[in-house]
Structure 1
Amino acid sequence: MVDAYVKQFELTVLPVAAQNELQLVRYEPGDVICTQGDEAEHLRFLVKGKIRVSHTSATGKRLVLSFKYPLDLIGDIEYIQRTPFLNTVEAVTSVEMLVIRFEDLVRHAHHDVAWLHYLLEEITRKFERKSQSLSFNLFYPVEVRLASYLLSMTPNDQTLGSTVDQLTDIADLIGTSYRHVNRTLRRFVEAGLIERNRRVITLVDREGLLEIVGESIYE
């Protein structure tokens, strides 16, 4: 399976010796793949599924930076800078990743020009996407951010949690207050876009939510 993914995503840019060190790791929905501030020791290639990337500020506020699909790299910046993880990454769906230790990359690929060029391109794209994501959170109204979040978090299921703790998490993640999230959800209910009880939010009109979003800002 590792070889199939290497071929599918053209990871032959890695030297063969480094390819031989790749391991396939699977994660279930809700699993934390890496946590902001933890020591980074592995580079991960997302080859199947969907992940959520969020950041926690010094004041404890969390913000969704993006949702990512294959192919995407986790740990590339940390590998270059030798820093702890900059963000927290969680599985939204079932996820598969090819994983290699930093020390194996150093041993087999650290001076490989083709690999370093590939890594530079990936990191450059990542910073461009991060800048766009932060701009969206600053300039888009809460109803757009919330609609986008609901759509992004339900790719295979129409429901997600609606407890006080879960709504507080959503508020932190999209950069607003719990009360504002609550008010916006009530408007979505009144408009027939969602149904909601104390435990579950159910999306009943995805097309209507997509009209609010225009473009899914977290994708």
Structure 2
Amino acid sequence: MDERIARYLKQFGLTDLFPVHVRQLMHIKAYAGGERLFTQGEEAHALYLLVDGKLKISMLSPEGKRLIAAFKTPFDLVGDIEYVQACPLINTVEAVTETQVIRIPFPVLRNEMADNAAWLQFLLETITRKFEVRSRVMNFNLLYAVDVRIASYLLSMTPDRAVIDSTSLVDMADLIGTSYRHLNRVLEQFEQAGWITKKRGKITIYNREALLEQAGHNIYE
């Protein structure tokens, strides 16, 4: 087994959850910031343990708009609902920062862990918590003003840096649940206040505290 996997499992208290022969079938994968792990609607093949970095989870609405479902930081699972329901991927998942995940193929879990009571309890608790987070995010999109959501999005997308790609503001507007025009207007207000600059396809953040105050300390994750 990869020493990094052993170290991560110990860090998050998961060593005893998985038998040795299951741990030996795990693989670690790395993704760069902005890289997509998988896309909504694709066939699901494995469970991912998020052990380092940050992920953005989005979903396509019935109207064809892509909306933020959640941001994830360690420790978390990706693909757990698909594993239980044996369904295609529900969301699109992208790395926000450099990210490390531990991959466990579904057949391994079904063959080796299906009767493991501790694993099933762990899975139940994780999925329950995930639905609570999803409910909070959806309420956030419905109840909070656009400027609050934009400030929160900028903060969520820049946990370890000050620059975010702004080449696709249309996508950003869809994710936040607003119009391109409204998004641009709010970004211009932030720029006039000296909190950000927007040029050459990049948004640079200069005042995180002001954005955090604007967001009312309400961050997507």
TM-score by length of structure 2 reads 0.95
1:30 and 2:54 equivalent? no
- Find 2:11's aligned residue among 8, 11, 18: 8
- Find 2:131's aligned residue among 121, 127, 130: 127
- Find 2:204's aligned residue among 189, 202, 205: 202
Counterpart CA distance in 1 for 2:113 and 2:22 is 7
Q: How does 1:60-209 map to 2 (within 5 A)?
A: 60-163=64-167, 166-209=168-211
Offset at residue 65 of structure 1 (A): 1.5
* Matched residue SS, 1:33: strand
Deviation beyond 6 Å, 4+ runs, structure 1: none
Unaligned segments of structure 2, at least 5 residues:
none
Contact 1:133–1:218, Cα closer than 8 Å, also in 2 = yes
* Matched residue SS, 1:152: helix
Amino acid at match of 1:184: V
Amino acid at match of 1:46: L
Counterpart CA distance in 2 for 1:90 and 1:56 is 14
* Matched residue SS, 2:8: helix
Aligned length: 217
Offset at residue 14 of structure 1 (A): 2.0
Unaligned segments of structure 1, at least 5 residues:
none
Amino acid at match of 1:24: I
* Matched residue SS, 2:135: helix
Counterpart CA distance in 2 for 1:196 and 1:95 is 26
Counterpart CA distance in 2 for 1:121 and 1:191 is 43
Counterpart CA distance in 2 for 1:80 and 1:140 is 33
Offset at residue 154 of structure 1 (A): 1.3
Contact 2:53–2:100, Cα closer than 8 Å, also in 1 = yes
The C-alpha deviation readout for 1:129-156, integer Å capped at 9, x for no partner, is: 1011100000010000000111111122
The C-alpha deviation readout for 1:33-68, integer Å capped at 9, x for no partner, is: 121100001000000001100111122101111111
